[in-house]
Amino acid sequence: MQPKIVAAVTFLIAYAMLILGKIHPPYVVWSGSILLLALKVITPAQAISSINLNVIGIFIGMMILSDFFIHSQVPAYLSCMIVNPKRSVAGAVLGVCILAGAVSAVVDNVATVLMIAPIALEISRRLKISPVPFIVGIAVSANLQGAATLVGDSTSILLASAAKMSFADFFWMKGRPGICFSVQLGAIASFYVLCLVFRQYKGRCVNIGTVRVTSWVPTILMVLMMITMAASSFIPDRPDWTIGAIALAYAAIALTWNMFTGYKPLDLARDLDWATVFLLGGLFILIGSLTTTGLVGDIASLISGWTKGNAFVAYNVIVWMSVLVSAFVDNIPYTMAMLPVAQLVSTGIGTSPYVMMFGLLLGTTLGGNITPIGASANVVAVSLLRKNGHKVTFGDFVRIGLPFTVAAVLVGSLFNWVVWR
């Protein structure tokens, strides 16, 4: 059997099993990877080289720093500052959603929801309003801003690695506005949607009390880490692993500080999301097999053929196909599979690879906002609501998520096309 067919069938079966969710995801991807190695579709050397250690380093470093940041109560403290008697209920609720987006630009989306949703539930109880639109708004806002910075989401990390982007490149790159600007314009459009949703909240806020910050050290470390990442972009011939090394270095500083201060009991094996680390490693090998066998090139040629060499049509196919797919399936394996496709499509058509890759990131990151199963943050948000006695139907979520996503993607992708075509 041809290596292309074996690689494609293995990947599709693994993807289907990830969607069904019956088996623990790392077991799925590593079973597929081991099978490909056993069948000699990919060599051990190719498998090892396909694992992006820079991405793994960034993820581990941010995971550790985020855990301390959550424990510091800084996001909860900021939420309570936003909700004060001088503001309208609708304005305060929208402010908390904006805060969720800002936090999510530097913290994992699921962690952001876990930080802010409990505060939102308490705010809803005291203000006597339904928490359903509020919590859904927090989830979609967190997902939206994940694409704004290099450390905002796993898909952003994957893009930065594929496009050789620094932290600063997300803001300004090659003399042009970076993808962060596309995200922010999309955010402005989508927050108008949230304004319409939150019109149902009437009256003014009441005092809900305050939250005591346990330490500002994690916040300071996160700010210093981002400054260091941005400064590293000025280093000539910077190694590919630089950003990952910076994230790990600051995580090591945080762990050392925690060890000497006894700030937070931390079990590294139990408290952190190592399953996702192993998932990423296995996915890199699966996606690597698609590239080494030439299957990625075939898919790129197919898309170029469909669009008859029209760059704008090809761009929109990539963007809106990504939106549709990400509404129902995990965007990490999809993004990993499609990044090399986007690069090859741009080469075949003769346009900038950045426009296609940025469009892909916008589609995959924002598409998950349409449904309650499209992103892990959405699943967590709905679960929290149900645990607190609030029923959320598929339609309830889509009524907010669909217009929010369409507005954000439409505005953000058009700006991205104008700037980067």
- The residue whose two tokens read 């996606």 is 287
Residue 395, classified by CB atoms within 10 Å of its CB into exposed (0-12), middle (13-18) or buried (19+), is exposed
Q: Which two tokens stand for residue 244?
A: 């990952």
SS (H, E, C) the chain: CCHHHHHHHHHHHHHHHHHHCCCCHHHHHHHHHHHHHHCCCCCHHHHHHHCCHHHHHHHHHHHHHHHHHHHCCHHHHHHHHHCCCCCEHHHHHHHHHHHHHHHHCCCCHHHHHHHHHHHHHHHHHHHCCCHHHHHHHHHHHHHHHCCCCCCCCHHHHHHHHHHCCCCHHHCEECCEECHHHHHHHHHHHHHHHHHHHHHHCCCECCCCCCCCCCCCHHHHHHHHHHHHHHHHCCCCCCCCCHHHHHHHHHHHHHHHHHHHHCCCCCCHHHHCCHHHHHHHHHHHHHHHHHHHCCHHHHHHHHHHHHCCCCHHHHHHHHHHHHHHHHCCCCHHHHHHHHHHHHHHHHHHHCCCHHHHHHHHHHHHHHHCCCCCCCCHHHHHHHHHHHHCCCCCCHHHHHHHHHHHHHHHHHHHHHHHHHHHC
Q: What is the pLDDT of residue 405?
A: 93
Q: What is the pLDDT of residue 356?
A: 93
Q: What is the pLDDT of residue 275?
A: 76
Segments of the chain scoring below 50 in pLDDT: none
Which residue ranges make up each domain of the chain?
3-420
Q: What is the pLDDT of residue 209?
A: 65
Nearest to 374 by CA among 325, 319, 305, 310: 325
Q: What is the pLDDT of residue 359?
A: 94
Q: Are 120 and 138 in contact (CB under 8 A)?
A: yes
Question: In Å, how far are 90, 93, 136, 280 from 198, measured between CA atoms?
Answer: 6, 8, 11, 37
Residues ≥6 apart with Cβ < 8 Å to 87: 95, 204, 205
Q: Which two tokens stand for residue 224?
A: 């210093």
pLDDT digits (tens, 9 = 90+) for 125-162: 777 788 888 899 999 998 888 888 887 777 888 888 88
pLDDT digits (tens, 9 = 90+) for 54-85: 778 877 887 788 788 878 888 777 767 777 66
Q: 135-147: b or e for each residue (b if 16 or more CB lie within 10 Å)?
A: bbbbbbbbbbbbb
Q: What is the pLDDT of residue 1?
A: 57
Q: Which two tokens stand for residue 136?
A: 């859904």
Whether this model's pTM surpasses 0.95? no
Q: What is the pLDDT of residue 11?
A: 82
Question: Cα separation of 255 and 271, whole Å?
Answer: 13
Q: What is the pLDDT of residue 56?
A: 80
Residue 149: count other Cβ atoms within 10 Å of its Cβ: 23
Question: Cα separation of 186 and 323, whole Å?
Answer: 14
Question: Cα separation of 257 and 107, whole Å?
Answer: 20
Question: Cα separation of 271 and 277, whole Å?
Answer: 13
The vertex-309 CA angle with 358 and 367, nearest 5°, equals 35
